[in-house]
Amino acid sequence: MVATVASDEPAFRLKPVRLGIDTHQELVVYLRRNSHVCRSEGFTSSSRVQIRIADQSILATLSIVNDNGLLNPGEMGLSESAWARLSPTADSEAHIRHPDPVLSLSHLRHKVYGNRLNEAQTQEIINDIVAGRYSDVHLSSFVTACAGDNLDQEEIIALTQAMLRSGRQLDWGQPKVVDKHCVGGLAGNRTTPIVVAIVTACGAIMPKTSSRAITSPAGTADTLATMTQVDLSLETLQDVVKRYGGCLAWGGSVNLSPADDILIRVERMLDLDSEGQMVASVLSKKAAAGSTHVLIDIPVGPTAKVRSDEAAEQLSRHLITTGKALGLEIQVILTDGTQPVGRGIGPALEARDLLAVLRNQADAPQDLRARALTLAAQLLEMAGLAQPGKGPEMAKETLDTGKALQQFMAICEAQGGFSEPELAPYQYNWHSKKPGTVTTIDNRQLSQLAKLAGAPEDPAAGVTLEVKLTDEIKKGQLLMTLHADSPGELQYAVEFLEAHPEMIGISA
C-alpha cells in the first residue's frame, strides 16, 4: 500500500500575500515550513527561487516561516520590494520554481580569486545584476572583490561601459551638455544646486541627475528632496530641461545606469566606496544623462576621501582616461579638503546653507559661495558661454543680481514646487572646554556624528558647525549644534561626541 501525504497547498501555485516587511531593495519571498513546495522541491531558507505572476518574474531569496499564523496554507508572503516588482492583483496566482543557473557567478569567483575580468565577463555580471539574479551576498562579494585597487584601468573602462549599457541613455541633440561632480568625502560641500542655477541661467544645458548618500550623511539628491520633488519621470525631466536648460533630479528615478543604484545600496551597507567603482559610477551616470563636458571636483585633505595629491592625480588619470573612452571631455579641479564646507551637515541643514548663498544673505557661508562660483565659472567656459578667464565675472554677476535664485526657484516649481527645509525638533549645543586656536577638523568623524544623529534617513538631522580652521576660540564658545528628530538619536550622537572631542582640535 502506498501512503499518501495530505498537501496543505497546491504544488507550485500559491496566492501572493503582502506582509508589509521592508527588506530595503532585496527581493524576499516567505513560505511556511510545512509547505508542500518546500518539501517537494527541497527549498531551504536563503534558497534562490524564481517567482512569476502573470508576465512579471523575479528572482528572490526565500525565508522560511515557522509561525503558521503568519501565512495560511496555499499562501506565499512577499516583501514590500518583491510586491512592488510583481504588482499582484486580488486574483493573482504565483508560480514558484528553481531558477536557471546564473552563469556569471563563475566570473565573480574568478575576480574574487584575484584575476582580471575582461569586457564580456564584466558585461555578463552587470546584466545579471540588473536582471535581479544576484542576491545581496553575491552583490557584496562583487563590490568587495572590486574594492581598493583591485580594478585596473581597462577593467574600470569595461565596468563603466557595462553600467552605461545597462539602462537608458539620453540625447539632448546639443554639441555641449555640461555637468559636474564632486567625488565626496567633504562634509557640507553642497555646491551643485548653486552651480546648476548659475550656469543654466546663463544659457548652458545641464540636466543634473544626482545620487543619494552612499557613506555620507547627505547626498545631493537627499538635500534637494527637502526643497522639491526629485523623483522625476523621464517625461518630466525632459520637459524641465527643455524649459529651463537644467534639472535637479535623482538619477535613480529615470533608470540611468540602474546597476549603479543597486551597487550603491550594497556599498552603503558595507561602508565601501572604492576608486574604480566610483569612477564607473560617476561617468556611467554622466554619459547616460547625455553629458559631453564634465567637471570633476576632487577635494584633497587628511580626512577627506582623497587624502593626498598623489592619490588625487591617480584618480584624475582614471577619470580622464575612462571619460575619453566614453567620448566625454573631462576636466578635473583639485580643491581644499581640509575642513567641511558651509555650516550644515545633513540634508536640510545643507539646503539652508545653499539657499542662504542663492539669496545673497549676509550670513551665508562664504566658503560655499566661493566654491560654487569657482565651479560655475569653469563650467561656463567649458560650455563656450564665457571666454577663457571671463567665467568668474559672469558667474558672480548671475549670483549677485538674483538671476541664479530666480532660476533655481523656477526649476523647483517645474519639478513639483518649492518648500523651505525644516529644522529638527531636538538640539544639543556643544561648547569649547578651553580657549585656543582651531587647528584640525575631522571630516570623517563629523560625518559619522551627523549620521548617528539620524542623517540622511531623518532629513532634518545632522550637525551645524560654528567654527573654521584658524579661528580663535574662547572657553565656553559654541563649537557645534546637533540636530535630531528624537531624544534617543540625539543622546546617541551626544555620547559619540563626548567620546571623540578631538574631532575639533583646539591648541593653546
What stretch of H or E contains 93?
none
Put the strands of the sheet holding 426-431 in their side by side order: 344-345, 462-465, 478-484, 426-431
Residue type, 50: Q
Q: Are 155 and 278 in contact (CB under 8 A)?
A: no
Residue 365 forms beta bridges with which residues? Answer: none
Sequence-separated (6 or more) residues with CB below 8 Å from residue 400: 360
Q: Are 282 and 276 in contact (CB under 8 A)?
A: no
C-alpha cell at 212: 543619494
Sequence-separated (6 or more) residues with CB below 8 Å from residue 395: 198, 199, 202, 373, 376, 377, 380
The CA-based dihedral angle spanning residues 459, 463, 468, 474, taken in that order and rounded to the nearest 10 degrees: 150
Give the phi and the psi of residue 224 in degrees, each rounded to 5: -65, -30
Residue 260 designated active-site:
no
Q: Looking at 128, 260, 273, 458, which residue is catalytic?
A: 273
Give the phi and the psi of residue 165 in degrees, each rounded to 5: -75, -10
Q: Are 179 and 191 in contact (CB under 8 A)?
A: no
* Total Cβ atoms within 10 A of residue 470: 9
Distance CA 129, CA 138 (A): 9
The Cα diameter of the chain in Å comes to 95
Q: Are 214 and 252 in contact (CB under 8 A)?
A: no
Distance CA 218, CA 347 (A): 5
Distance CA 428, CA 449 (A): 12
User: Strand runs (DSSP E) across 316-379, as ranges?
Assistant: 329-336, 344-345
* Residue numbers annotated as active site: 273
